[in-house]
Structure 1
Amino acid sequence: MNLRLAFYGDDFTGSTDVLETLSRGGVQAVLFLDPPTKTQLAAFPNAEAVGIAGTSRSWTLEQMTVRLPEAFAVLKRLEATFTHYKVCSTFDSSPTVGSIGRAMELGLEVFRDAWVPLVVGAPTLGRYVVFGHLFARARDETVRLDRYPTMRLHPSTPMRESDLRRHLGAQTLLPTGLVDVLSVERGVRTVKERVAQLRRRGARVILFDTLTDTHLLTLGEVLAEGSERAFYVGSSGLEAALVRYWREQGTAEPQPYTAPVGPVDRLLVVSGSAAPATAAQIDTAEQAGFAAFRIDVPRLLEPETRSTERTRLLERSAAALRERSVVLYSAKGPTDPALTETRRTLERLGHPPHAISALLGAEQGTLLRDLVNEARLTRVCIAGGDTCGYAAKALGVTALELRMVVAPGAPLCLAHREGRPKLEASLKAGQVGTPNYFLAVQHGTPEGAFYD
């Protein structure tokens, strides 16, 4: 297997974002939920890129230190030209949870590289890096990330600083340099000169500004030609940069993946996201006839009430699924009072705040699995990066391939399950998609082509 690229995603939806970027760019890609065995790899003989969907965005420093070197060693053995530690385009991380700085340190140790390129901007997703500051498009305006509602109020890793160098400085002592937008605008030669200058000054991490698709093409050429490194960090903007360069070189042929795949009569949506975008999607689906059931998270976490709450949700959802689609959700937006109650419950039970990802994700995954089996569903939708990872594993998913692009960064995938029927699964980060997203998934059509 001659791989162009191998990657490890720090959350599930970020990993499917890379799967989409590569597949649409003409690079045959497959995403595994665990490090693949030789037998599993052999089932995809034409793959040019292989990914592992991880959950390190929710890990503590201790967990990262133990687990990431093992994952990086697996990727290293694949001997891909590029190895990528994929982070969210909103740079979700903190000094204690999902530390990107710690991941960089561990990656440099495993791959024995002198420095690591950092590409975070992803213009297609409305993420831009300018003079080192990360901006995100929020509806009809673009704001600094520390003012972006989803990240400013994020329950696990709230963003207080948009300057990525300062944000990283709280996570690692690795010196970070910047190739700013003015240098990138001047082209490949200037970028290479600036990189050399920063390396002479001792930079171990080099961040690249990214504002336009033209900038991605420039960075793709810089990174693809004459690279002496193996290890890279960034969002799917890195793949977008490489794909654009490969396309210019004639070594990749774009594939749209926009043809409708057709509707299903019933769709089950499970949401663990508190993002405003997901709240709007829940409301729109309910208005369109979906049955919407709120998960009482404190009762699901409490050992004394867990079984009763599970039974309530299963019985009500199963009954509704006989006739229509269903949304199971844990919160509506970042100011939902349920989030405060959940934090209090975690504290009372002795769990740290970040433990909610694993605890709730596992419970939602169990609910999803049981309902898929009972209602014989063929398509599901999961909202929330951490929820997706745990729920997909509960479903027994081993690998994913791109089926159709519903919205940028939020595709419908074909889920392979050993010994079980294949399943179509839409996996999206909380902040992605228009209010019609869930309806588009049920209708099996790209979001932009759907009209309610």
Structure 2
Amino acid sequence: MQKALLSYYGDDLTGSTDVMEALSSQGVDTALFLKIPDAALLQRFAHCRAFGLAGTSRSQTPAWMAENLLPAFLWLKSLGADFAHYKVCSTFDSSPTVGNIGKAIEIGRTVFGKAPVPLVVGAPQIRRYTAFGNLFAAYRGDTYRIDRHPVMSRHPVTPMDEADIRLHLSRQTSLSAGLIDLAHLSSPDADAFADKAFAEDNDIVLLDVADEASQAVVGRQLWRRRVAGGQFACGSSGLEYALVREWRRLGLVDDAPAFTPPGPVDRIAVVSGSVSPTTERQIRHALEHGFDGIALDAVAFATAEEGSVVEDAVARGLSSLAEGRSVILYTALGPSADRGDAIPLEDGSRHRIGERLGLLLKELVTRAGLRRAVIAGGDTSSHALGQLSVDALNLRLPLPQSPGSPLCTAHSADPRVDGIEVALKGGQVGLDDYFSMIRDGRPGYCMIP
């Protein structure tokens, strides 16, 4: 097993596949595990240079983090990689009580030491940018400061009302945060500015990324400033995009591989727990292009007895599949149908929706013999895929038109699930025709190096 370049913990499943796509599509073979693997499972992926662990911390409390992140970070450290990355959403949505990024960094420092933690959020590849410490994100062709973003400023659980990342973090932790801004990065004295930021009493150092040039400089600074024993870092997949630039410059990784389009399948099943307007448009497009739609009661899925709600949905989904049609089963059709206020946050009811959607999808896949499926919703994916008996994922096909939502190959001890192709789509991710494009396996979605 060759030395790993990077290990990471993803705070939700779609974010975890986002990192896998960023690495594997650029020549860094990556295995993503659904739980800490035993030695035999890890050995199956001995050829990989990066290893991920998909988590659910984005939707969890600080108390949950204190109990669950410590063993995850200890496993990352045991791999001996040059970098260990706590991966967060590129929109940085989080709060003191849900998905607390500051708390996660605090826990990471107990495992990896007190060296300053690099923080990289900007990723032009997925249309996320940081400038002078402020976060910007694109939406339908326009770019917004995150606190004015049409979707993220109104997120139902963690609305972003502050664009300055350091100020946002200050609500979650007492750790101090410095900044290496775009002016520093473009200066001939970029190394000196970086050294100063990391040498000062900063627990966290945010590095701006707004374009390819700043990303390349950030990659060089990250690699130059890494510490022995594994550099703990935080941020979006922008961290990987920056590092890959530097690894390629140094000849540490091969050229990006070519990927073969998978071609069409006759039917797929989609389950969605997303309330995003992006997912709403995608569902409506799918219904206009050959999919059957089945609306599910979100409150019932969260609170009713498992058997009744899941069995009814399975029967309805199998009926559509038996008639040769793809099917999409959804708990909301956009923000106007969001019933989150009627679902308790404290007792795990919201997580139960994702778990039951996963049980539903497993029944559809195994009983209808499907070989391709989609889960929509970041939190939904994290809780749903665990019900499918999937042990690990690797990249089947990167989707440059919808970065961050690749088609993956699932590995499972269950032969009915092993080898299926599954796409995991965050709420804000993808073009309107995303579901039909996955069904059709269109070459237009193929990465061309």
Change (3 A) 1:127 1:375: same
Note the C-alpha offset of 1:92: 2.3
Note the C-alpha offset of 1:449: 7.1
Partner of 1:293: 294
User: Which amino acid in 1 is paired with 2:212?
Assistant: D
User: Which amino acid in 1 is paired with 2:341?
Assistant: R
Counterparts of 1:76-155 in structure 2 under 5 Å? 76-155=77-156
Change (3 A) 1:334 1:446: farther
Contact map agreement 1:14 1:87 (CA 8 A) in 2: yes
Local SS of the residue matching 1:117: strand
Contact map agreement 2:310 2:359 (CA 8 A) in 1: no
Partner of 1:440: 437
Q: CA–CA distance in 2 between the matches of 1:415 and 1:55?
A: 19
Partner of 1:230: 231
Contact map agreement 1:150 1:334 (CA 8 A) in 2: no
Change (3 A) 1:446 1:109: farther
Q: CA–CA distance in 1 between the matches of 2:403 and 2:220?
A: 24
Change (3 A) 1:55 1:200: same
Q: CA–CA distance in 1 between the matches of 2:111 and 2:218?
A: 24
Q: CA–CA distance in 1 between the matches of 2:354 and 2:199?
A: 45
Residues 320-368 of structure 1 deviation map (CA, whole Å, 9 limit, x = unaligned)? 01120001111122232xx23x422x24xxx439x45411111111111
Contact map agreement 1:274 1:430 (CA 8 A) in 2: yes
TM-score by length of 2: 0.94
Local SS of the residue matching 2:32: strand
Partner of 2:361: 368
Structure 1 residue 419 corresponds to structure 2 residue 414: yes
Note the C-alpha offset of 1:132: 0.8
Q: CA–CA distance in 2 between the matches of 1:168 and 1:299?
A: 35
Q: CA–CA distance in 2 between the matches of 1:199 and 1:222?
A: 11
Partner of 1:352: 346
Counterparts of 1:294-313 in structure 2 under 5 Å? 294-303=295-304, 307-313=307-313
> Mind listing any 5+ residue stretches in structure 2 that lack a counterpart?
none
Local SS of the residue matching 2:336: coil
Q: 1:343 aligns with which of 337, 341, 358?
A: 341
Residues 415-435 of structure 1 deviation map (CA, whole Å, 9 limit, x = unaligned)? 001132321101111111100
Q: CA–CA distance in 2 between the matches of 1:69 and 1:97?
A: 17
Local SS of the residue matching 1:316: helix
Change (3 A) 1:253 1:199: closer
Counterparts of 1:38-57 in structure 2 under 5 Å? 38-57=39-58
Partner of 1:314: 314
Local SS of the residue matching 1:89: coil
Contact map agreement 2:389 2:414 (CA 8 A) in 1: no
Note the C-alpha offset of 1:310: 2.5
Q: CA–CA distance in 2 between the matches of 1:136 and 1:126?
A: 6
User: Which amino acid in 1 is paired with 2:239?
Assistant: L
Q: CA–CA distance in 2 between the matches of 1:200 and 1:16?
A: 34
More displaced, 260-269 or 414-423?
Answer: 414-423
TM-score by length of 1: 0.93
Counterparts of 1:237-248 in structure 2 under 5 Å? 237-248=238-249
Note the C-alpha offset of 1:94: 0.6
Q: CA–CA distance in 2 between the matches of 1:169 and 1:276?
A: 30
Q: CA–CA distance in 2 between the matches of 1:257 and 1:331?
A: 37
Q: Which runs of 4+ in 1 moved over 6 A?
A: none
Local SS of the residue matching 1:335: helix
> Mind listing any 5+ residue stretches in structure 1 that lack a counterpart?
none
Counterparts of 1:154-303 in structure 2 under 5 Å? 154-186=155-187, 189-190=189-190, 192-228=191-227, 230-303=231-304
Residues 192-223 of structure 1 deviation map (CA, whole Å, 9 limit, x = unaligned)? 32233234441110101110012111111111
Note the C-alpha offset of 1:300: 2.2
User: Which amino acid in 2 is paired with 1:260?
Assistant: P
